[in-house]
Amino acid sequence: MNRRKALVTGVCGQDGSYMAQLLLEQGYAVIGAGRGVGNVAPAKGVEPVACDITDAGAVRDIVRAYQPDEIYNFAAMSSGAGMFDDPAHIGIVNGLAVTHLLEAIRHEKPSARFCQASSSEMFGEVRSSPQSELTEFKPRSPYGAAKVYAHTMLRIYRERYGVFACSAILFNHESPRRRPEFVTRKVTLAAASIKLGLASEVTLGNLDSRRDWSSADDVVRAMWMMLRHSTPDDYVVATGVVHSVRDLCEVAFRHVGLDYRAFVRETPDPSRSHEQVQLVGDAQRARETLGWAPLVDFETLITSMVDEDMRRLQETQRKAEMR
């Protein structure tokens, strides 16, 4: 029996690595694509292939050569602090490049099923809460605008060409693999560092800012389930529960026996506009249609991140002492 083949772009990032891991556990042959795969090895068992998805010809070559049954796209310029950096390039990578993937499917493997990692940043300046698949998009950043373009092209290819294409509208999602510039990892790394005597404080913005935080594990499982369903559609992926940055600090520091109030300095950024309406996802469609539900709660997610940061820092300390 032939194994199903999946192509995962952005395989070295947080979401791509978790998706590759899930697919391997499900018995897939996994091809991991990305610009950095030559420098950063993907998970063991993944066949790496260097690819710049802004190169339409290269994308078509890969789909033609590997003939994947499923394609998951996580290749994108970052959200967070980088949402306004180089707007033109963000438009190419996060928007136009998705059309390259859709064209490659249409011409080289029409039966392939495709899942795009879309973003809650598409909602932007929301007027109602919670947000569902029917909520109006009003992006406030080049990142969000590019994601809206990709999301729209997905629908066009689905309706005009019959491509099995799903859009996963992902709200904030975290893991121990999250990069340090994101607030969740900044907090968990600070808690671990302060506990080990490697730092004395951490400076954060508005502690009352609230987000709907999921686990990356739960998110990629939802995307995999989308391609198991009989028909393609768009799905919000979120917990429907919000927590503040203050909650995040309280959980992370308490886990290592510290009171965050003694170590966290708040300096709100006046350039960040206040959110009049809460950004929080309504994942009813995913729950009812796919049978998906988040399995990892907020406290378990944050404490697992702290534990991993403690492990990494202690390992670094041990190596330094052995030199």
pLDDT at 29: 97
As a whole number of Å, the end-to-end CA separation of the chain is 51
How big is the CA angle at 25 (ends 72 and 9), to the nearest 5 degrees? 20
Phi, psi angle pair for 39, to nearest 5° = -105, -30
pLDDT value for 85: 76
Q: What pLDDT shows up at residue 39?
A: 47
Q: Buried b / exposed e across 284-309, counting CB within 10 Å, b at 16+? A: ebbbeebebebebebeebbbbbbebb
Lowest pLDDT segment from 48-52, 103-107, 257-261: 48-52
Residue 148 CB-half CA count within 13 A: 15
Least confident of 30-44, 202-216, 276-290: 30-44
Task: Report d(CA 175, CA 28) in Å as an integer.
Answer: 23
Average pLDDT over residues 211-225: 98
Of 159, 171, 70, the C-alpha closest to 113 is 70
Q: Encode burial over 169-201: b for 16+ CB neighbours within 10 A, e otherwise.
A: bbbbbbbbbbeeebbbbbbbbbbbbbbeeeeee
Fold of 183-211+241-279+296-322: UDP-galactose 4-epimerase; domain 1 (3.90.25)
pLDDT value, residue 126 = 93
Extents of the domains making up the chain: 5-174+215-237, 183-211+241-279+296-322
Please determine, for residue 270, whether its predicted confidence score (pLDDT) is greater than 70: no
Same fold, 5-174+215-237 and 183-211+241-279+296-322: no
Between the CA atoms of 120, 124, 125 and 126, what dihedral angle is there, to the nearest 10 degrees? -20
Q: How confident is the model at residue 34 (pLDDT cuts 50, 70, 90)?
A: confident
Q: Are strands 243-244 and 210-211 parallel, antiparallel or unpaired?
A: antiparallel
| pLDDT of 293 over the 70 cut | yes
Statement: residue 153 has pLDDT above 60: yes
Predicted confidence (pLDDT) at residue 161 exceeds the cutoff of 80: yes
User: Looking at the predicted structure, is the pLDDT value of residue 35 above 60?
Assistant: yes
Average pLDDT over residues 36-45: 64
- Residue 274 confidence (pLDDT): 57
What percentage of the chain has pLDDT greater than the value 70?
94
186 Cα distance to chain centroid? 17
pLDDT tens-digit profile of 91-134?
999 999 999 999 999 999 999 999 999 999 999 999 999 999 99
Region 287-313 average pLDDT: 98
Q: pLDDT band for position 82 (50/70/90)?
A: low
Contact residues for 261 (Cβ-Cβ < 8 A; gap 6+)? none
The 3-state secondary structure of 226-239 reads: HCCCCCCCEEEECC
Q: What is the rounded average pLDDT of the residues 295-321? A: 96
Q: What is the pLDDT of residue 277?
A: 87
Average pLDDT, integer, range 70-82: 83
Mean pLDDT of the chain: 94
User: Mean pLDDT over residues 218-230, rounded?
Assistant: 98
pLDDT average, residue stretch 181-209: 97
Mean pLDDT of 255-269: 94
pLDDT at 43: 73
Instruction: Give mean pLDDT, residues 19-32.
Output: 97
pTM of the model: 0.94
pLDDT for 321 equals 87
Query: Which overall architecture, per CATH, does domain 5-174+215-237 show?
Result: 3-Layer(aba) Sandwich (3.40)
Q: What average pLDDT does the segment 149-166 reach?
A: 98
When computed from its CA atoms, the radius of gyration of the chain, rounded to whole angstroms, is 20
Q: Which of 195, 206, 286 minimizes the C-alpha distance to 239?
A: 286
**Active-site residue set:** 119, 121, 143
